[in-house]
Homo-oligomer: A and B are copies of this chain.
């Protein structure tokens, strides 16, 4: 029988090594390799290719796109590129092999953003240590389905419960965290590293243990691509029913579900809502439309006003309701915006309107634009300010 065990070992070890050797004619490739000084080396074994490039989100934009950078080929056909020092963050990139943009074959860590899949890596240190899985107590991440009578469908969401939730008898405050256009209930947990950020902030005593509920803001959609009966279709940007009042109207279905399925501390002092871009827009309008519900509101790179011609009652009497929101026990109205964000000027104008009604808010202006780098940052700051 020991022959069989050996065969088992051989089968698996040879499959992973020889399959690559057969294709690459060499040893296993390590890519990316993050060096201690923050530079990163990428490697692609491609002796037959004429041109291998790399495009990463740390590279400058050229209009709407980034220009891939050439990798360098050695005499064995190994293409390499080493970056300058990158500051601590989670980065995403693709390789381009003879014009085909795809994922790094030596890196199993990937994240989907709408219809694109990127290889990812983390340069640690500083704020990026919050994005790592560290040796701290870990919360639970659950993918759940809830009933949304307002949308006449079952819908999917992601729930983070902090370490100890299941065995404690305590009630917990709730933080609703909303994605941007094109995202879904996977966006914050994957690109946003929400579970890691919350685990680490709670372990450091910087954030209160809380439940984080990550919804799907495309109310025409049941679930993230591949997770509904629509099958494994090619995702595209959803624009219908994303900013027409339906998300705001049916948000009560989410809250009903959460409050009847989790041990929730109720009341505005224990309820927060924040979102990025379109999710910031949703958070703005939901928070003013559900009076005395949300004590903490976060607008991350938020859009502010609805599309012309939108007639939803959820976008009426905006400043009147915000004035009421300001007087009804609001604890924190937090606005984060990047200096080069294309929504920057809209927020300048919105802040003028807020100032005109003596609204209390905090404004955090950062470098950069409409990026996950900023949104992870804003989450890391905002989460420490909740429920205290």
Could you tell me the distance in whole angstroms from the C-beta of A56 to the nearest C-beta in chain B?
13
CB neighbours of A163 from chain B (8 A):
145
Determine whether A336 belongs to the interface, using a CB cutoff of 8 Å to chain B: no
B-chain residues with CB within 8 Å of residue A304 when the two chains form the complex: 1, 4
Q: Which of the four size classes fits the interface of chain A?
A: 35 or more
Taking a contact as CB atoms under 8 Å apart, the answer to whether B97 and A98 are in contact is yes
The segment out of A305-313, A322-330, A356-364, A372-380 that lies at the interface is A305-313
A197 CB, nearest partner CB in chain B, Å: 15
Residues of B within 8 A of A343 (CB): 4, 7-8
B1 touches A225 (CB 8 A): no
Which residues of B are found within 8 Å of A354, using beta-carbon distances? none
CB of A109 closer than 8 Å to a CB of B: yes
Counted per complex, copies of this chain come to 2
Say yes or no: is A167 at the interface (Cβ < 8 Å to chain B).
yes
**A46 within 8 Å of B by Cβ?**
yes
**What's the Cα separation between A385 and B300 when bound, in Å?**
51
**B232 in contact with A109 (CB, 8 Å):** yes
A64–B231 touching, CB < 8 Å: no
With contact pairs A16-B116, A105-B101, A342-B4 given, residues A145 and B138 touching in the complex (Cβ less than 8 Å): yes
A121 interfacial contact with B, CB 8 Å: yes
Give, as a whole number of angstroms, the nearest-CB distance from A64 to chain B: 5
Contacts of A138 on B, CB cut-off 8 Å? 145, 154, 156
- The answer to whether B98 touches A49, judged by C-beta atoms less than 8 angstroms apart, is yes
Task: Give A68-104 interface residues, CB cut-off 8 Å to B.
Answer: 95-104
- Cα-based distance from A307 to B4 in the complex (angstroms): 9
Highest count of chain B CB atoms <10 Å: which of A30, A102, A110, A228:
A102
**Nearest CB on B from A312, distance (A):** 14
Q: Can you show 13 pairs from A to B with CB atoms below 8 A apart?
A: A1-B304, A4-B305, A5-B303, A9-B181, A13-B237, A18-B64, A19-B65, A44-B100, A97-B100, A106-B234, A135-B229, A140-B143, A145-B163
For the complex with contacts A1-B349, A48-B99, 11 further pairs of A-B residues with Cβ separation under 8 Å are A5-B305, A14-B64, A16-B116, A97-B97, A103-B117, A109-B226, A109-B232, A133-B226, A138-B154, A142-B142, A167-B260
